Amino acid sequence: MRARIGAGSLELRRGDITREGVDAIVTAANSALAGGGGVDGAVHRAAGPELLAECRKIGGCPTGDAVATPPGRLPVRAVVHAVGPVYGACGGREDELLARAHRRALEVAGEAGCRSIAFPAISCGVYGFPVERAARIALETIRDHLLGGSPPHEVRYVLFGARELEVFRGALRELVERDPRVVLGG
């Protein structure tokens, strides 16, 4: 499923983010940038040990922020390590922090010269964010970025499971209905 937003595009698809042919892939990192399970484990496995070495040079990243590193042996220009909130552990600021993690991921990818980017469902695994709510926040934040006209202009949201994909599709349909700037197809 695909939508045109401003001069950019947003695509939802099911898949494994380590296999996306884009300039930047985002991983759902922890604030120590220490590697972990879930999507971050998959990204570090695919990238090799150089990625952890790059993370160690940076040292850490606060919740709601993102940093870009060289990609190790992944065939992309950059890996963006975005730190989403642990649901229920951020004093009610979870929505804002999830939006900010997405916004910062887009900004640092743009600064690294990336024109296309692929996101996983940040915070929707071990961090326990309800997927319906996360989908609305993620898609609205990406819409705002695309309307702003800065790179990256091509955004993919890559869902690992069929249920997550269905939820994100529903959220995109709702966004299309209430925002005429978001147009299906293209």
Q: Could you give the residue numbers annotated as active site? A: 40
Given the complex with ligand ADP, which of 41 and 186 has the nearer CB atom? 41
- 121 is a site residue for ligand ADP (CB under 6 A): yes
- 39 is a site residue for ligand ADP (CB under 6 A): yes
**Pick from 33, 51, 55, 158: which binds ligand ADP (CB under 6 A)?**
158
Given the complex with ligand ADP, which of 40 and 54 has the nearer CB atom? 40
Given the complex with ligand ADP, which of 90 and 147 has the nearer CB atom? 90
- 109 is a site residue for ligand ADP (CB under 6 A): no
Contacts of 8 (CB under 8 A, 6+ apart): 146, 149, 152, 153, 154, 155
Stretch that binds ligand ADP, among 3-11, 13-21, 63-71, 139-147 (CB under 6 A): 13-21
- 85 is a site residue for ligand ADP (CB under 6 A): no
Comparing CA positions, the residue from 62, 68, 52, 168 lying closest to residue 117 is 68
Task: Lay out the site mask for ligand ADP across 47-66 (x = CB under 6 A, - = otherwise).
Answer: --------------------
The site that binds ligand ADP (CB under 6 A) totals a number of residues, namely 21
- 124 is a site residue for ligand ADP (CB under 6 A): yes
Q: Are 90 and 97 in contact (CB under 8 A)?
A: yes
Q: Which two tokens stand for residue 116?
A: 């296309």
Distance of alpha carbon 50 from alpha carbon 64, whole angstroms: 24
- 126 is a site residue for ligand ADP (CB under 6 A): yes
- 137 is a site residue for ligand ADP (CB under 6 A): no
- 28 is a site residue for ligand ADP (CB under 6 A): yes
- 120 is a site residue for ligand ADP (CB under 6 A): yes
